[in-house]
Structures are given as C-alpha cells and as structure tokens.
C-alpha cells in the first residue's frame, strides 16, 4: 500500500490534520491520530509536490471560509460493505451547512431496510461515523443526534472539533470565544 502523508495546520482545537494520499486520491484523514490502520500517521511524508499543494490549498481554503467543498479525489480503500454505502450516501447527499441525524442517514442509505429494532440503525451509523477513515472529506461532523450534537471521534477534543466545524459551516452560531476565520 502506497500511502504517504500531508500534514496541514488547522485552527481546530485538535491541531493539525493529516491526510493520507495514494495514487488514486485521499484514502485516510486523521484529526490528531498517531496511528491509522496499525501504522504511524505522518510517515512517510508525501513527496509529490502537486498532491501536497492541492491538499494544503483546498483544506486551507475550507478553514478560511473560502471553500465549501474540498473537491479532492477520494480513494475509498479503507471502507467497505455497509459502511461504504453509508459513507457514500453522506458524501453525496449532505452538503455544506446541512446536517442529518444518525437515524435519517440510516434510512437514506437503504442499508438497514428490514431492521425492525428501534435505535439499532442510528447506533450502527454512529459507530460507522466513528470509524470513518475520511473525516472532513466525508463529513461525519454533519451527522448529529436527534437530540443534540452527538459524539465525534471519542477523544477529548472530538465534540469541540464537531462544534467548531458546524460553526464554520453556519449550522451553529459562533460563541464569543470562537476562533473561526476573520473576514
């Protein structure tokens, strides 16, 4: 597997993000992860200047509020089966500044047809979002609980990152201490 990494500074509470790129596109993204698929994140660094510049520019424009969609090529290799179906549905149907609940995404994806246990599809989608190999590109931050934000990544900064991204996209109003882009 030829996966190399581009590190991009961000204003997020989690710090820089890392984008794992292949010949086919971005295959992995981590907010502050040290390991992805059992391998160290950030090693090896991407030496392809064209790929590096594209990722840095698009991500920088998004965080500066000048880009609504990253429009980076995606390599889906780390998702498969029902998770891939749900992630592709999210990517295609839930655009910038919009949200969907875990249950709504489960229904839209069609993956859970015939599942009659209340709450199971929504919880399963939550688990799928937690295992999303392409956060930000496949915007799992736009998937919320029916009664609030829901979780995000399980780390100390997870919900704050989700809140920050939803504020950037205009879903949530900024707080006095929000460090978003200055226009």
pLDDT tens per residue, range 78-95: 999 999 999 999 999 999
Instruction: Evaluate the CA torsion angle 30, 6, 93, 141 in order and state its sign.
Output: positive
Q: Which of 90, 140, 143, 144 is catalytic?
A: 140
Domain residue ranges in the chain: 4-63, 81-168
Instruction: Evaluate the CA torsion angle 3, 62, 128, 151 in order and state its sign.
Output: positive
What's the pTM?
0.93
Q: Is domain 81-168 given the CATH code 1.10.10.10 in the classification? A: yes
Position 34 pLDDT exceeds 80: no
Beta-bridge mates of residue 144: 101
Separation between Cα atoms, residue 33 and residue 7, nearest integer Å = 11
140 is catalytic: yes
pLDDT tens per residue, range 112-155: 999 889 899 999 999 999 999 999 999 999 999 999 888 877 66
Question: Does residue 75 contact residue 25 with C-beta atoms inside 8 Å?
Answer: yes
Q: Report whether the peptide linkage leading into residue 44 is cis, meaning its omega lies within 30 degrees of zero.
A: yes
Question: Does residue 91 contact residue 51 with C-beta atoms inside 8 Å?
Answer: no
């Amino acid at each position: 597997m030829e996966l190399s990494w581009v590190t991009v500074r961000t204003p997020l509470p989690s710090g820089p993000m890392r984008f794992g790129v292949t010949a086919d596109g971005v295959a992995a993204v981590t907010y502050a992860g040290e390991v992805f698929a059992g391998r160290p994140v950030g090693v090896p660094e991407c030496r392809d200047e064209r790929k590096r510049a594209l990722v840095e520019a698009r991500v920088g424009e998004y965080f500066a509020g000048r880009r609504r969609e990253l429009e980076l090529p995606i390599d889906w290799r780390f998702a498969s089966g029902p998770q891939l179906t749900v992630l592709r549905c999210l990517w295609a149907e839930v655009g910038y500044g919009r949200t969907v609940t875990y249950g709504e995404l489960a229904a839209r994806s069609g993956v859970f047809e015939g599942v009659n246990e209340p709450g199971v599809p929504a919880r399963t989608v939550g688990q799928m979002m937690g295992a999303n190999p392409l956060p930000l590109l496949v915007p799992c931050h736009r998937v919320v609980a029916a009664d609030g934000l829901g979780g995000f990544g399980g780390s100390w900064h997870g919900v704050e990152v989700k809140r920050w991204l939803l504020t950037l996209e205009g879903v949530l109003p900024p707080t006095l201490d929000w460090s978003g882009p200055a226009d």
